[in-house]
Amino acid sequence: MNTFASNSEWQDSSHVPKGVVGWLLFLCVSMTIIAPTFQARIAWKAFWNLAQAHLITLPLVLRLTSVGALYTSLALSSFWAGFWLWREDPRGVSLAKVYLLVSPMLVISLDVVLVLTGTKIELVEVIAGRIPYSIVWYLYLSSSKRVRATYFEYEKSPPAIKPATR
């Protein structure tokens, strides 16, 4: 697993960049640390608010458990996708792409339902934050030379050495 790029990588223009550095490293940090932290915080707040509620109603329970369960799932999914990316496992790219496609759809769908049931949510801010993030990183994973070289282009093994004949 190549974690750091050598200086010669940047000097040799014919060499395709490889390894979890640069923007790919930023994505891995985002998916394994930053996003799960924020999502776990939202889930914790939802479950905490449910536990602290003085008057428990069915709509309150449904709303808070939906938010808590969704954001717990998103935190775990983001972490695992980022973890597999960081390990330079080709499955990480697929997991990350699925996460980037499904995550905004789930969050926006839940928020639309919550808005329709009377919860005050800045839906435009949610959409403006989720959609561009997902599109940019999905396109990066789909078109980056570094991603292709790191996950999908395996070095050709040298030809087998034939024993010398006398």
| CB 82, CB 24: distance < 8 Å | no
Q: How many domains does the chain have?
A: 1
Give the structural domain span for 121. Answer: 36-151
29 located within any domain: no
pTM: predicted TM-score of the whole model, two decimal places: 0.80
pLDDT 10s digits, 68-111: 999 999 999 999 999 999 999 999 999 999 999 999 999 999 99
Distance between CA 150 and CA 17 in Å, rounded?
8
Residue of 61, 137, 140 whose CA lies nearest to 103: 137
- Phi and psi torsions of 140, nearest 5°: -60, -50
Tokens read off for 85: 């990316």
81 located within any domain: yes
65 located within any domain: yes
Give the DSSP letter of residue 135: H
Tell me what pLDDT residue 31 has.
97
